Amino acid sequence: MTTTGTPAPAGLFGRVRALLKRHSRELSGFLSIGGVAFIVDAGLFNLLYIGYDWSYWYAKILSAVIAMTFAFFGNRHWTWRERRGSAAAHRQYTLYFFFNAVGLLISMGCLWINSRLAEVWPHIFDTKIAVNVAGLLFGVGLASIFRFFAYRTWVFRLAPQLQEATETA
């Protein structure tokens, strides 16, 4: 039983479904902003990497920083707008970019794994498609899961009075 008197969902899928339902508004806002940021990231990455023949390491870093900046303002002013409260924007911005740096390391780790696999199977992993799959699909996907929970837990925290109200409801 939970504190609201409803039975706790059984099994892993029940718990995941309950978690998704409870956070559906935040998750849909996060995914909307993230989808646009992903388009910015992917477009700029490929423009620099393929169009201007940059190293994929530098192209990923620059495209990610620009996409992160867009996503910060979108998440602050739309996804978690009710959590802005008295929190100083510079504190949120600092934490946001710290967690994005961790997310960038996750993405870069996926690119690094791809580069190691390219040494063994260059005909598969030493291609522009493989680099995009590693950096954008796996890297951004894994980093996004991490960032969602980091943002809502530490960056865009509930104000203490709102947190008390949600705990008592």
CA distances from 38 to 25, 139, 168 (A): 19, 11, 37
The answer to the question of residue 165 being in a domain is no
pTM of the model: 0.72
Q: Which of 77, 82, 115 is nearest to 96 (CA)?
A: 77
Tell me, yes or no, whether 43 lies in a domain. Answer: yes
Domain containing residue 72 = 13-158
Q: Is residue 169 part of a domain?
A: no
Q: Is residue 2 part of a domain?
A: no
Between 23 and 123, the more confident residue is 123
Question: Each residue of 74-91: pLDDT tens digit?
Answer: 988 888 777 765 557 778
Give the C-alpha separation, 141 to 121, whole Å: 24
Q: Which band of pLDDT confidence, cut at 50, 70 and 90, is reported for residue 93?
A: confident
Is residue 167 domain-resident? Answer: no
pLDDT, position 59? 94
Nearest to 129 by CA among 24, 37, 33, 42: 42
Residue 87 maps to a domain: yes
Report how far residue 17's alpha carbon sits from residue 13's, in angstroms, rounded to the nearest whole number.
6
pLDDT at 6: 60
What is the percentage of the chain residues whose pLDDT exceeds 70?
85
Question: Is residue 4 in some structural domain?
Answer: no
Residue 159 scores a pLDDT above 90: no
Indicate the range of 56-65, 114-123, 127-136, 158-167 predicted with least confidence. 158-167
pLDDT at 161: 55
Compute the distance between CA of residue 82 and CA of residue 25 in angstroms, rounded to an integer. 12
Q: pLDDT tier at 160 (50, 70, 90 boundaries)? A: low
Instruction: Provide the number of structural domains found in the chain.
Output: 1
Q: What is the largest CA-CA distance in the chain?
A: 60
pLDDT of residue 81: 77
Determine the Cα–Cα distance for residues 80 and 73; give it in Å rounded to an integer. 10
Q: What pLDDT, in 10s, does the model give residues 18-73?
A: 877 777 888 888 899 999 999 999 999 999 999 999 998 999 999 989 998 999 88
Residue 50 lies in a domain: yes
